[in-house]
Structure 1
């Protein structure tokens, strides 16, 4: 069984690396500007997680911990953005578009990373996602590896636009993207803090939140995140003729949406809520009357 687990972990790790490198090749645009930068960044984002796992996985004899998982993810976002900005040109050559999209991605990473670290610090360094997972190093290592791929693919729109000399003026669709990003970012921030304050109130112990943005969506923070990355992709559009580039720009928001809707976000939280309040008639009423994701619209995600 041990050998099977190790082989499975190796296969998953190799598959994740190959998939990430495939995405990097798709996003490569300009041969004269060292296109391998995306491949390097793909290895970098995963490599940072592997190095971090040396401590987090208890390889020094310490107890495995998930306390720094989200923080490392956010720091990897920030450093990857920085490398993509500085690797190919002096700061004086950065375009307005590149500066805006890089700043928006960095602001998101700083905000979310600090919020998640504050939350897990206040909970004693425990994240329920990893309670069982960290007891099996193969599963825990896989989670760290996948986080590296998540960082790279989420940032793909930013990395694609930052790999080239950008001389094309901002277009109307880019300004629309700014508004979409601001809307999504505001929604994610407000939803996160509404839930945080709700949980900090002793009177709400054992209850689910159904007020504020949570009254119009069961996962408004996730809707905000999908929206803001859609905005980033719209900001990165500089021309509509390059179909390959447009495809690369679509990958990030689609990936984020699929991850949150079908994999690690909504399914886990919905199951956890059903296990806890599934027999509660009031919760069932809230669930039946409140859209899963898109505010006010019940029949789509």
Structure 2
């Protein structure tokens, strides 16, 4: 019953975040602001779960801190990235010229809001569970380690790409330096690691295994739905992209191969 209360409160928090974001997008005339709400929504759920839940206090606070560091960094990155720019081509293609309120809510905000609630289920369940058993404490520590790796890949990858694009000499050039030489999507790979790490941290018993579909869904989004595969569709015709793909791992980092001659 307590889990249902936490889950309902988490859903209400997601609705508030995405409704507010929709109204902001309506006012400024672009809906890529939902990318900012993506991180903020998870922080809101983690905060609600930490306050409403009565499970292990240490784990509730730890998960809140980890999610807040990740989510607020991501939200700020998206604000800076989209400042002064128009609508993202992804949302233009998705909406197909129909910017009516109902269509935008169904195609953008409803889907992302539902995904936020579902992916955050490990946080919600963990908030009502007791202390992490001694046998599972190494799993918790491993989860923090995976989270750290993920955050570093995501933050460093975003920073390297931002600096690269800031140099006018790199206009039209494929970014293939730093982490981008090891994987074509260090930010998405890092994001996946963050959520697998959070899932490991959230484990407090056998019942936690039932939430494994949450990081699986997040990974699916990052690889296929709105992440790496979609990004590459927009980059497919860029000069040098095929050669970059021939020597750089798609998702999981590995040393770059020699270019195919």
TM-score > 0.5 by shorter chain: yes
Tell me, yes or no, if the aligned pair for 2:32 and 2:91 is still in contact at 8 Å: no
The residue that corresponds to 1:152 in the other structure is: 117
Q: Residue deviations 1:128-155, cap 9 Å, x none?
A: 2223445313542221111111221222
Aligned to 1:140: 104
Partner in structure 1 of residue 194 of structure 2: 228
What is the CA–CA distance in structure 2 between the aligned matches of 1:172 and 1:272, rounded to whole Å? 41
TM-score with structure 1 setting the length: 0.75
Helix, strand or coil: the match of 2:148? Answer: helix
Measured in 2, the distance between the counterparts of 1:179 and 1:81 equals: 19
Q: 1:216 aligns with which of 164, 182, 185?
A: 182
User: Unaligned 5+ residue runs, structure 1?
Assistant: 1-30
- The answer to whether 1:285 aligns with 2:243 is yes
C-alpha distance 63-216 of structure 1, shift in aligned 2 (>3 A): closer
Q: Does 260-269 or 34-43 show the bigger shift?
A: 34-43
Residue 157 of structure 2 corresponds to residue 194 of structure 1: no
| Partner of residue 58 from structure 2, selected from 96, 100, 117 | 96
Structure 2 residue 7 is matched with structure 1 residue 38: yes
Q: Distance in 1 between matches of 2:245 and 2:210?
A: 35
**C-alpha distance after superposition, 1:193-212 (max 9, x if no partner):** 11111111100001110111
Gaps of 5+ in 2: 257-261
SS at match of 1:271: helix
Aligned residue in 1 for 2:70: 108
- Whole-angstrom distance in 1 between the partners of 2:196 and 2:103: 31
Question: How far is the alpha carbon of 1:237 from its aligned partner?
Answer: 1.5
2:127 corresponding residue in structure 1 = 162
| Contact 2:224-2:230 at 8 Å conserved across structures | no
Query: Where does residue 80 of structure 1 map in the other structure?
Result: 45
Alignment RMSD (CA, Å): 2.3
Does the CA-based 8 Å contact 2:129-2:204 persist in structure 1? no
Distance 1:50 1:167 in 2: 35
TM-score (norm 2): 0.86
Is residue 209 of structure 2 the alignment partner of residue 246 of structure 1? yes
- Aligned length, in residue pairs: 251
